[in-house]
Amino acid sequence: MTAGVFWAVAIGLAALVAYMLIGALRRVPGQNNSAEADLAVYRDQLAEIERDLARATIAAPEAERLRAEVGKRVIEADKARMTGSVTAGSTSTAVLVAVIIAVVVPGGMAAYWALGAPGYPDMALEPRLAGLDDAIRARPSQEAELATQGRTRDMALDTRLSAELAAATDTEALRARFQQHFEAGEMQAAVRVQERLIALQGEAASSQGYAMLALALTLEAQGYVSPEAEGALRASLQRDASNEIARYLVGEMFRQGARFDRAFQFWRPIAESGTPGSPFVADVRAKIEQVAELAGVRYALPASVASGPTAGDVAAAAEMAPEERQAMIEGMVAQLSDRLATEGGNVEDWNRLIRSLAILERLPEAQKIYDEAKDRFQGRPAELSFLRLAAVETGLSP
């Protein structure tokens, strides 16, 4: 659409709106409402006089006098009605019509000129998606993102690790060392160890091995899925297209790049049939409805047996006053905290408690719960990585 055509359409639409408003004004009764009401009263009075005369409650001369009196009032009210509709009503309507014509068309154009994007070309869906894909391909590298975050890698540590790992050939020892660094939150070392392990394994490297490398890279970059992590994810999915960690991270990569349609495609199987109790399933289920909405997809998340607020709880909370909603959240957090302290729970419950405390701005308590959760899930990399993501996203110290 050319600029000329756009402005012609815009002016036409503004004129149409003005026309509809003017038409509505002309249909609205003006200032003669009072005169119309008076006429209705006088008509009722005339009818009442006739009824009284028929019942013989008044004499004929009295009835004639009353008719004459009411008749005068009817004439005066009718004159007022006619004069008001022609003068005051037409005058006020004319003023409003002039205001509408003066404001709607030029005012709408001026507002668009200030707030809109005059001359901006049409952009169909395919070019927009292509632009997003280009932006994803051009996103910063792992090193660039770390630098942006002010967390550049320790070059001395890299040099030392390179020398140590060059002589390492025991794959089981490398797996154990990766897990040790990963659980300790030492992601730079975990990345280097996993890279060495994959290099030793060659074509025999597993889908899970590549997925864990991508996960370590993502955690090192505070949740950012870099091109380097994407390369590991491609290798993981080439070996096993159903790998849950890889599908989760690929979906997160597309979500970060605003390709919500692709994120939804990768996440839907996880949300609906992912491993029960998996931390990644819980995170996908928490985000997928918003992702679907942004992708323009109508999607209702299937019911889950996971503990926590039900849909009814959420609906009830939405209708509460802020104080009542805060009290309800506080009560649910206290109940969940007590249950975890006495009965324990899965990683989803711990994640929910950490995030809830962060929402309530009880960060010291959230940090304490996170530290306790790390001890509880020691030796379980998937759960620890999930908790670490929660810590990063809520501003805690991972």
Q: Is the pLDDT of residue 155 over 60?
A: yes
Of the pLDDT bands very low, low, confident and very high (cuts 50, 70, 90), residue 31 is: very low
| Dihedrals phi, psi of 333, to nearest 5 degrees | -65, -45
Q: What pTM value is reported for the model?
A: 0.57
Q: Rounding to the nearest 10 degrees, give the CA dihedral for residues 12, 13, 19, 24.
A: 170
Using the Cα atoms of residue 389, residue 282, residue 216 and residue 255 in order, give the sign of their dihedral. Answer: negative
Residue at token pair 């009284």: 52
Segment of 31-40, 45-54, 316-325 carrying the highest mean pLDDT:
45-54
Q: Could you tell me if 279 and 384 are in contact, meaning their C-beta atoms sit under 8 angstroms apart?
A: no
Residue at token pair 């939804």: 264
Residue 355 CA to residue 361 CA, distance in Å, equals 10
The conformational region for residue 307 under phi > 0 = left, psi -120 to 50 = alpha, else beta, is beta
Q: How many CB atoms lie within 10 A of CB 155?
A: 8
Q: Could you tell me if 70 and 49 are in contact, meaning their C-beta atoms sit under 8 angstroms apart?
A: yes
The pLDDT of residue 307 is 47
Q: How many residues does the chain have?
A: 398
Top pLDDT among 306 and 272 is at 272
Q: Is the pLDDT of residue 309 over 90?
A: no
Of the pLDDT bands very low, low, confident and very high (cuts 50, 70, 90), residue 380 is: confident
Residue 255 CA to residue 290 CA, distance in Å, equals 11
Q: Is the pLDDT of residue 178 over 80?
A: yes
Residues 375-393: what's their mean pLDDT? 78
Q: Is the pLDDT of residue 202 over 80?
A: yes
Top pLDDT among 213 and 68 is at 213
| Dihedrals phi, psi of 214, to nearest 5 degrees | -60, -40
- pLDDT tens digits, residue range 239-268? 999 899 999 999 999 999 999 999 999 999
- pLDDT tens digits, residue range 368-377? 888 888 888 8
> Taking Cα atoms as reference points, which of 247, 133, 131, 232 lies closest to residue 191?
232
Q: Could you tell me if 373 and 350 are in contact, meaning their C-beta atoms sit under 8 angstroms apart?
A: yes
The pLDDT of residue 230 is 96
> Taking Cα atoms as reference points, which of 161, 167, 166 lies closest to residue 181?
161
What mean pLDDT value characterizes the chain?
79
The pLDDT of residue 350 is 82
Q: Angle, nearest 10°, between helix axes 279-294 and 244-256?
A: 30
Residue 352 CA to residue 369 CA, distance in Å, equals 11
